[in-house]
Structure 1
Amino acid sequence: MRKILCILSLFVVCLHFNQAHAQRYLPGMKAIQLTAGMADDFHWSDKSDFAYHIGAAYSVYTKNANRWVIGGEYLEKRYDYKDIRIPVQQFTAEGGYYLNFLSDRRKTFFLSAGLSALAGYETSNWGNKLLQDGSTLLNKDAFVYGGVLTLELETYLTDRWVLLLNVRERALFGSSIGKFHTQVGVGMKFIIN
């Protein structure tokens, strides 16, 4: 029994030290990701404006862990008016390129900067311009367009699952809630192949 236990222990130690790590971010690899986070003022207080965003994207990798990204995002910002909160929503599509400029030797952490074009639609209070107290919203639904600059940190949890942390600055023209929105988000990426 002691001999079998010793052989099994040696086998487990050998397996641990001889692990093969999958190659990461090779040209042509594809991934999908989901992200969510806060926008603008970054607070949850009931007495202040509140904004959040969620998004999904598809990535295709090129040389040096750089990637093309195409995706969509939903951003909602709520404004206080008397005793209610009026939501303003933006639905945007994104297409851009992310340049990897820093990674560790073991290819576990990647820091990338991205520049993307945005286009979408903005609506206030889901299109309902008449409020409960009889007031009328004056801002109109509109098409929005612009760009986004992103700084993103990726860290591998397993060979296929990646944790994302990002900071984004969106510039949108045609919007009634301001041209610039700073976003901080967290997400998960799954490497497809």
Structure 2
Amino acid sequence: MKRFLFIGILFALCLHFNQAHAQRYLPGMKGLQVTAGMADGVHRDSDTDFAYHIGAAYSVYTKNANRWIIGGEYLHKKYDYKDMQIPVKQFTAEGGYYLKFLSDRRKTFFLSLGLPALAGYEVSNKSEKLLPDGSTLQDKDCFIYGGALTLELEAYLTDRVALLLNARERSLFGSDIGKFHTQVGIGVKFINN
């Protein structure tokens, strides 16, 4: 009996110490992610200069744990004008490459740097140029294009679900409201093979 108990304990220890970890960031793996966050700073007072973004993207992993990504994003920002706020909305599509440059030994945390290209459309004040006080808005609805520099942290909660934290600087040309927008966000990625 002691022999079987000893063999059982030895077997359990071997299983514990030689545990196989999940296969992550393999070539051909695919993931769907949803993100949301604040744009152009964090504002405590939601009535003034409030900006947020939401997005969804599809990624395909390549060799060396890098990935291609394609997706879309919506950015909403309000600008103060006298006693009112003028909403500006940006709808953008993005596509780019993310390079993994840091990960832990257990493949739980991954830090990537991405440079996607962006293109889309910007709408100011719901396309209405005449303001309630009689002023005319000079900003026009326009096509926008540019890119973003993104730093993203993936933390795997399970083998198929990862928590995302990202910071990015968007640079868009053709816009009437500004060329640069800083974004900080959080998201979830679902991995499917």
Normalised TM-score (structure 2): 0.88
Partner of 1:6: none
- Rounded to whole Å, the distance in 1 between the matches of 2:82 and 2:179 is 25
Q: Partner of 2:116: helix, strand, or coil?
A: strand
* Structure 1 letter corresponding to 2:187: G
Task: Tell me what 1:74 maps to.
Answer: 74
Shift of 1:18: 6.9
Query: Distance in 1 between the 2:13 and 2:88 partners?
Result: 57
Provide the C-alpha distance between the structure 2 equivalents of 1:100 and 1:165, rounded to a whole number of angstroms.
Answer: 14
Q: Distance in 2 between matches of 1:142 and 1:75?
A: 15
Q: Count residues in correspondence.
A: 185
Quote the Cα distance in structure 1 between the aligned partners of 2:158 and 2:19. Answer: 13
Tell me the secondary structure at the aligned position of residue 126 of structure 1.
helix
Give unpaired runs (5+ residues) of structure 1: 1-11
C-alpha RMSD of matched pairs (Å): 2.2
1:171 aligns with 2:171: yes
Shift of 1:109: 0.3
Q: 1:22 to 1:83 in 2, by over 3 A?
A: same
Shift in Å, 1:122: 0.3
For residues 105 and 14 of structure 1, do their structure 2 counterparts lie closer, same or farther at Cα, with a shift above 3 Å needed? closer
In structure 2, C-alpha distance between the alignment counterparts of 1:137 and 1:46, rounded to whole Å: 23
Equivalent in the alignment of 2:100: 100
The superposition leaves residues 129-186 of structure 1 with CA deviations (integer Å, 9 ceiling, x where unpaired) of 2222332211000000001000001000000000000000000000011000110000
**Aligned residue for 1:110?**
110
Corresponding residue number in structure 2 for 1:136: 136
Structure 2 residue runs without a partner (length 5+)? 1-11
DSSP 3-state at the match of 2:38:
strand
One-letter code aligned to 1:52: Y
Q: Identity over the aligned pairs, expressed in percent?
A: 78
Report deviation, 1:46: 4.4
* CA 1:54–1:47: 2 relative to 1, 3 Å: closer
